């Protein structure tokens, strides 16, 4: 990230996404960093809506079930 403030904001947003939406922490951190980079100055509510509405968390195509071995 470019600044300490961006890093702090990304960590805070990742924590929220992890706690509120149940997203795994590493994935939440990547999403938060991307959000802060692409939409600077946005708030946490917009971040949660961005994840929920934009679906960056969900796979774009359905995954096939893996056979049980």
pLDDT tens, residue by residue, 12-69: 888 988 888 888 889 988 888 888 888 777 778 888 887 777 655 443 334 444 455 5
If one counts every other C-beta atom within 10 angstroms of the C-beta of residue 16, the result is 18
Specify whether the CB–CB gap between 35 and 12 falls below 8 A: no
pTM: 0.60
Looking at residue 3, what is its pLDDT? 64
Looking at residue 38, what is its pLDDT? 82
Residue 11, helix vs strand vs coil: helix
Looking at residue 69, what is its pLDDT? 55
């Amino acid at each position: 990230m470019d600044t300490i403030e961006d890093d702090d904001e990304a960590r805070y947003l990742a924590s929220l996404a992890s706690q509120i939406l149940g997203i795994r922490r590493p994935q939440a951190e990547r999403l938060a960093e991307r959000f802060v980079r692409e939409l600077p100055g946005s708030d946490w509510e917009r971040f949660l809506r961005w994840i929920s509405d934009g679906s960056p968390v969900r796979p774009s195509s359905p995954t096939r079930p893996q056979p049980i071995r």
